[in-house]
């Protein structure tokens, strides 16, 4: 593909030479391959571009699977806002390819090959176009072409000069740490001379707080385990550092910046923040999943508290929210900016950044969620992290494709509204997270991670370990929704290896692996039949989730059900538990007749993870409400619904999830956050399926580098065979980097 042209279509401008895409002049976040795919379509506007031709244009020297193209075109449609009615850009022609159907203006240069780009119009050919915007654009193009060199140079100088309040699109980076393990969560002293952070460089397997001069000098260790210490924050005078510690049940401590004894001031607190004037401290309680990675999710029933720095009682921030967390101070020290949801804590669309005064008054919704949705990002996947020194905006880490980057979000301190599109600051290929700001310095953690599937050998009827932990997958893409066959020989999982989620089956004896899903849409949640010959999985369609069944012998596939997101086979393979909404939250599907019969429902609880016990007379499931997830067992009746009065509570929460039976039905395995981390536990049952004794810890995931807590709760999986349990877990390492934002006056 030739490059060098500048193309305009709708509100967008694509500069092939500079490899940039803007919308109304504001940069648009786009991955390199999505950019190449868009350029291929734009250069061939009006012509159908075959799939093979596009594959050669986007990946000229590399063989990739066909699903990569589907993924990148899907990303383009999100970026261009095609889900808004009446704004078509890319047309799909089944079995042929794609066609760019919007009108394209060639502003400058041009790289069309002979016979291509027949629909591209040049600025010279168009002349003055009707309408004020087109007239303005045409005049600007003609001026650029005919201005004398001196005037053109003056114009270029003016455009490139630094402007007050503008953040550069990219900056030079300086590496601050070079650890082999995990170093993250930086904090800068107000004068920018010291950086504090959490690191496992001590070699004991947990995170401690360290502090070192920026630039050069030895690091000093401020805290010691045996639990994780994270999330440091400097006081405005630079003398003290507050941090979160898991010691003594968890809470916030403060320690002198040059070393000394740590003192706890907020039991159970997280994310301490000093106000800029030094008079107040803010923190949150609850609202975050277990673990220490700082992956931003919708907060679960969290609350924010404020207390005087000089001592005195804490007071809850006066906001009536279902969930609130991740507080940072505004520059005036009188307001808190936070991530929250006034409605249901499980409703991502209702989540946004809000500003609340600490002395009471109306809460203002900033509109950050809409700004991020405009870039094709989920609204609840990022939280405010650090104000810039000039008070003009907030720096945040946000997801982009399979990476995270730093963005600057313009936020007005006059009306607390986001005043423009987020601008991308870092352009790495990994996870840039947890920014801290002092003056023009921004320090952040750049993390490498993997999400792999692991196996723990176990006599699952006796809950007795029989070997060491084993990694079952090990490449650079994420693997989730692990399921193991009853005999422990086959593994099924959802993988992004081809660019979109597909279902793969791996023979754990031979290592042979194959793709069994046949849809280009995302496929997740596989589940083996009891005999291991069939597999059911979920496909996320436009308005619903559908279940598909595939034969592992011949690959034949059939659509099994609609409005069904989770599946649990009976031991004879004749019935299946479905989670959906009709005729009830949990229903039973007769595999022969395809008739669905209601089994479990509740007006308040969300019911998930329904699984038959081996006799078929009991069903195991979990019920969730905002901030709480419990596990229940209920009897199964042929006549219909099982009343709530007959549900047996196996756990009480606060967050117990992914329940699975042992083969003999006498033990329940599950994931729990009861000890402050997300770990795997087991609960024995008596003959009546009531809990017998206390729950047993099967696998503790307390290490900083390996964690279940950093896996999205939807992607997290647990599967039980006769001789092993299988689950997915993240493993990460990282270091600190610094960039300088110029004082753009």
| pLDDT score for 431 | 84
Name residue, tokens 């006066």.
318
Question: Six-digit token pair at 244?
Answer: 């979160």
Q: What residues contact residue 699 under an 8 Å CB cut-off, 6+ apart?
A: 456, 469, 679, 680, 725, 727
Split at pLDDT 50, 70, 90, the class of 246 is confident
What pLDDT does 704 receive?
A: 72
741 part of a folded domain: no
The answer to the question of residue 361 being in a domain is no
- 134 or 690: whose pLDDT is higher? 690
CATH of the domain at 674: 2.120.10.30
**Which is more confidently placed, 604 or 239?**
239
Select, from the ranges 24-38, 226-240, 286-300, the one with the highest average predicted confidence (pLDDT): 226-240
**Tokens matching residue 217:** 């000098």
- Please indicate, yes or no, whether residues 69 and 188 belong to a single structural domain of this protein: no
Q: Does some domain include residue 683?
A: yes
- 56 neighbors 38 (Cβ within 8 angstroms): no
Whether residue 110 is found in the same domain as residue 252: no
Both 111 and 260 in one domain: the answer is no
Please state, in angstroms and rounded to a whole number, the distance separating the CA atoms of residues 70 and 74.
6
382 located within any domain: no
For the record, the structure tokens of 513 come out as 């692996």
* Mean pLDDT score, 737-745: 68
Distance from C-alpha of 98 to C-alpha of 79, rounded to nearest angstrom? 16
DSSP H or E stretch at residue 40? helix 32-43
The reply to whether 119 and 191 lie within a common domain is no
Residue 131: predicted pLDDT: 38
3-state helix, strand, coil in the chain (%, to 5): 10, 45, 45
Answer yes or no: do 455 and 592 share one domain: yes
Q: Which of 241, 267, 293 is the last residue of a domain?
A: 267
Confidence grade of residue 121 (pLDDT, cut at 50, 70, 90): low
User: Which of 124-138, 199-213, 507-521, 558-572 is least confident?
Assistant: 124-138
Span 593-598, mean pLDDT?
94
The pLDDT mean for the chain works out to 83
Query: Does the pLDDT of residue 475 top 80, yes or no?
Result: no
Ranges 55-69, 299-313, 664-678: which has the least confidence: 55-69
pLDDT at 225 exceeding the cut of 90: no
Residue 287 clears pLDDT 70, i.e. is over it: no
Q: Are residues 114 and 24 in the same domain?
A: yes
Please count the other Cβ atoms lying within 10 Å of the Cβ belonging to residue 531.
Answer: 13
Q: Provide the pLDDT confidence category of residue 64 given band limits of 50, 70 and 90.
A: low
Cis amide prior to 37 (ω within 30 degrees): no
Total number of domains constituting the chain? 3
Residues 507 and 614 in one domain: yes
The residue with tokens 């004896």 is 509
Are 255 and 117 found together in one domain?
no
Give residue 172's pLDDT band: very low, low, confident or very high (50, 70, 90): low
Which residue, 238, 267, 296, sits at the end of a domain?
267
Asked which of 109, 126, 143 is the last residue of a domain, the reply is: 126
Kindly state the tokens that stand for 567: 């599946």
What pLDDT does residue 163 have?
31
pLDDT band with cut points at 50, 70 and 90 for residue 168: very low
Mean pLDDT, residues 395-418 taken together: 88
pLDDT beyond 60 at 705:
yes
Mean pLDDT over 728-739 rounds to 90
Residue 17, domain extent: 6-126
In a domain, residue 517? The reply is yes
CATH number at residue 107: 1.10.10.10
What pLDDT shows up at residue 561? 93
* pLDDT above 90 for 724: yes
Q: Report the pLDDT value the prediction gives residue 384, as an integer from 0 to 100.
A: 93
Structure tokens at 69: 């193209």
- CA–CA gap between residue 598 and residue 545 (Å, rounded): 18
User: Is the per-residue pLDDT at 161 higher than 50?
Assistant: no
Given a contact cutoff of 8 angstroms between Cβ atoms, the answer to whether 558 and 549 are in contact is yes
Q: What pLDDT sits at residue 143?
A: 34
Domain check: are 208 and 93 in the same one?
no
Which residues fall within 8 angstroms of residue 176, CB to CB, at 6 or more apart? 186, 195, 212, 214, 443, 735, 736, 737, 738
Residues 610 and 496 in one domain: yes
Residues 111 and 184 in one domain: no
What are 129-140's pLDDT values in tens digits?
333 333 433 333
> Do the domain assignments include residue 216?
yes
Please identify which residue in the block is written with the tokens 């980097």: 737
Q: Which of 276-290, 659-673, 705-719 has the lowest mean pLDDT?
A: 276-290
Q: 574, 608 in Cβ contact below 8 A?
A: no
In a domain, residue 401? The reply is no
In a domain, 194, yes or no: yes
Distance CA 324, CA 321 (A): 6
pLDDT tens-digit map of 601-626: 998 899 999 999 999 999 999 999 86
Q: Percent of the chain scored above 90 by pLDDT?
A: 51
CA distance 727 to 718: 5
3-class DSSP string for 220-248: EECCCCCCCEEEEEECCCCCEEEEEECHH
Q: What is the pLDDT of residue 297?
A: 38
Residues 120 and 205 placed together within one structural domain of the fold: no
pTM of the model: 0.64
* Residue-level pLDDT at 158: 29
Q: Are 567 and 536 in contact (CB under 8 A)?
A: yes
């Amino acid at each position: 593909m030739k490059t060098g042209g500048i193309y305009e279509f709708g509100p967008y401008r694509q500069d092939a030479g500079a490899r940039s895409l803007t919308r109304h002049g504001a940069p648009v976040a786009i991955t390199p391959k999505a950019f190449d795919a868009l350029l291929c379509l734009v250069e061939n506007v009006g012509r159908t571009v075959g799939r093979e031709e596009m594959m050669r244009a986007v990946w000229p020297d590399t063989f990739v699977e066909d699903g990569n193209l589907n993924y990148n075109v899907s990303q383009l449609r999100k970026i261009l806002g095609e889900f808004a009615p009446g704004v078509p850009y890319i047309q799909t022609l089944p079995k042929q390819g794609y066609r760019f159907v919007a009108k394209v203006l060639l502003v400058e240069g041009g790289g069309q090959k002979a016979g291509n780009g027949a629909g591209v119009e040049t600025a010279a050919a168009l002349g003055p176009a009707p309408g004020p915007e087109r007239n303005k654009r045409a005049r600007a193009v003609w001026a650029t072409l005919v201005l004398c060199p001196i005037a053109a140079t003056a114009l270029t100088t003016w455009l490139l000069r630094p402007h007050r309040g503008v953040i550069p699109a990219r900056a030079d980076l300086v590496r601050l740490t070079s650890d082999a393990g995990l170093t993250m969560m930086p904090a800068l002293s107000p004068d920018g001379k010291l950086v504090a952070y959490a690191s496992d460089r001590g070699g004991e397997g947990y995170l401690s707080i360290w502090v070192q001069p920026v630039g050069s000098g030895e690091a000093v260790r401020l805290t010691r385990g045996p639990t994780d210490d994270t999330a440091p924050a400097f006081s405005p005078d630079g003398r003290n550092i507050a941090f979160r510690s898991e010691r003594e049940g968890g809470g916030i401590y403060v320690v002198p910046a040059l070393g000394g004894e740590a003192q706890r001031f907020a039991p159970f607190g997280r994310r301490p923040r000093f106000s800029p004037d030094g008079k107040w401290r803010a923190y949150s309680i609850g609202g975050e999943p277990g673990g220490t990675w700082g992956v931003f999710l919708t907060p679960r029933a969290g609350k924010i508290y404020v207390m005087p720095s000089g001592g005195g009682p804490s007071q809850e921030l006066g906001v009536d929210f279902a969930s609130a967390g991740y507080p940072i101070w505004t520059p005036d020290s009188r307001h808190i900016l936070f991530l929250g949801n006034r409605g249901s804590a499980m409703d991502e669309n209702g989540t946004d950044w809000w500003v609340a005064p600490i002395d009471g008054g109306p809460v203002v919704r900033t509109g950050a969620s809409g700004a991020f949705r405009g870039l094709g990002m989920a609204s609840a996947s990022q939280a405010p992290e650090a104000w810039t020194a000039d008070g003009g905006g907030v720096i945040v880490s946000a997801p982009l494709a399979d990476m995270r980057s730093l963005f600057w979000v313009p936020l007005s301190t006059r009306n607390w509204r986001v005043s423009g599109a987020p601008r991308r600051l870092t352009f790495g290929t990994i996870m840039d997270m947890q920014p801290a700001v002092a003056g023009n310095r921004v320090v952040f953690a750049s993390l490498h991670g993997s999400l792999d599937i692991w196996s723990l050998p176990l006599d699952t009827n006796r809950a007795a370990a029989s070997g060491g932990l084993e990694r079952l997958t090990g490449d650079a893409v994420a693997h989730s929704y692990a399921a193991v066959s009853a005999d422990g020989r086959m593994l099924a999982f959802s993988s992004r290896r081809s660019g979109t989620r597909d279902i793969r089956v791996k023979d754990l004896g031979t290592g042979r692996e194959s793709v069994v899903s046949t849809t280009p849409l995302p496929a997740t949640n596989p589940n083996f039949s009891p005999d291991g010959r069939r597999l059911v999985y979920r496909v996320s369609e436009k308005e619903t989730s559908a279940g598909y069944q595939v034969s592992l012998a011949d690959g034949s596939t059939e659509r099994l059900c609609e409005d069904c997101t989770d599946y649990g086979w009976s031991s004879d393979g004749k019935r299946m538990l479905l989670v959906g909404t009709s005729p009830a939250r949990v229903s039973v599907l007769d595999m022969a007749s395809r008739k669905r019969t209601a089994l479990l429902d509740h007006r308040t609880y969300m019911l998930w993870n329904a699984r038959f016990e081996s006799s078929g007379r009991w069903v195991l499931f979990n019920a969730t409400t905002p901030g709480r997830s419990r596990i229940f067992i209920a009897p199964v009746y042929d006549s219909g619904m099982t009343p709530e009065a007959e549900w047996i509570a196996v756990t009480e929460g606060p967050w117990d999830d992914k329940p699975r039976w042992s083969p003999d039905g006498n033990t329940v395995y599950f994931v729990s956050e009861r000890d402050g981390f997300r770990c795997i536990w087991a609960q024995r049952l008596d003959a009546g399926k009531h809990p017998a004794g206390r729950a047993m810890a099967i696998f503790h995931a307390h290490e900083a580098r390996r964690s279940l807590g950093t896996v999205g709760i939807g992607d997290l999986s647990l599967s039980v065979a006769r001789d092993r349990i299988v689950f997915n877990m993240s493993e990460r390492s990282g270091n600190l980097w610094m960039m300088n934002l110029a004082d753009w006056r």
